[in-house]
A and B are shown apart, each in its own frame.
Chain A
Amino acid sequence: DGGITQSPKYLFRKEGQNVTLSCEQNLNHDAMYWYRQDPGQGLRLIYYSQIVNDFQKGDIAEGYSVSREKKESFPLTVTSAQKNPTAFYLCASSTAGQGRSDYGYTFGSGTRLTVV
């Protein structure tokens, strides 16, 4: 079945370390996104990519980096510059249809990152 796979489900990081969260999709979606979720808040956009080898900053990109070398993969690196990285991270992908009614925006199951 097609879908988005995020790994790992839980991740613990020591302060000062970089960590990379994996996101893979087999939906043949062109666009991929990373969101951060904190308790009591909506999802906030970190980075997004609409095509391979291209990506744009979202609303809270500081302290994060991404790459899009393959259509299927959009890994997120949480760097040591991110001052408050403990959160639930969600990856999503969407189709690039032209005004299609069957709009698709699918989320993975998330990675919970905790700084210890």
Chain B
Amino acid sequence: GQQLNQSPQSMFIQEGEDVSMNCTSSSIFNTWLWYKQDPGEGPVLLIALYKAGELTSNGRLTAQFGITRKDSFLNISASIPSDVGIYFCAGLENAGGTSYGKLTFGQGTILTVHP
């Protein structure tokens, strides 16, 4: 199946620093999604990107859908301790123009924020 390469695998930062992570794919996706997972819980959707080149913000989070449709990045500005968790990118294969289908996930970026 398709694979997503997410980097970095882990990050250790100080509170207040900005964070950047990205995902690349060997094939094209129609939709890119970014999720955050807290320990022992399911992932929660942060940002969804539907068009190539799209740049979307959600509070301190900003994500972009690459022009080639094979990559995406997520930035977190002014990190705070509650940003700790695992961040996943996911690419969606749409079938027939519908907005549901199989998600392919990156390996995740483990973020640790030191106060």
Chain B residues in the interface with A (C-beta under 8 A): 1, 4, 6, 9, 31, 33, 35, 40-45, 48, 50, 88, 90, 92, 97-100, 102-108
Contact A50-B100, Cβ < 8 Å, known A101-B50, A103-B31, A103-B50 = yes
Instruction: Give the complex CA separation of A101 and B94 in angstroms.
Output: 13
* Chain B neighbourhood of A6, CB < 8 A: 42
Q: Which of A84-116 contact B (CB under 8 A)?
A: 90, 92, 94-101, 103, 105-110, 112
B100 touches A105 (CB 8 A): yes
B102 x A48 contact (CB < 8 A)? yes
Contact of A43 among B48, B88, B99 (CB under 8 A): B88
Give min CB distance, B109 to chain A, whole Å: 11
Q: How far is the CA of A113 from the CA of B105 in the complex (A)?
A: 21
Query: Range of interface residues on chain A?
Result: 20 to 34
Of the residues B44, B97, B104, B107, contact of A40 by C-beta under 8 Å: B107
A-B CB contact pairs (8 Å), 7 listed: A31-B100, A33-B102, A42-B105, A90-B43, A101-B50, A103-B33, A107-B35
Indicate whether A45 reaches chain B with its CB closer than 8 angstroms.
Answer: yes
Q: Say yes or no: B97 contacts A42, CB within 8 Å.
A: no
Q: Known interface pairs A41-B107, A42-B6, A42-B105. Does A99 touch B43 (Cβ–Cβ under 8 Å)?
A: no
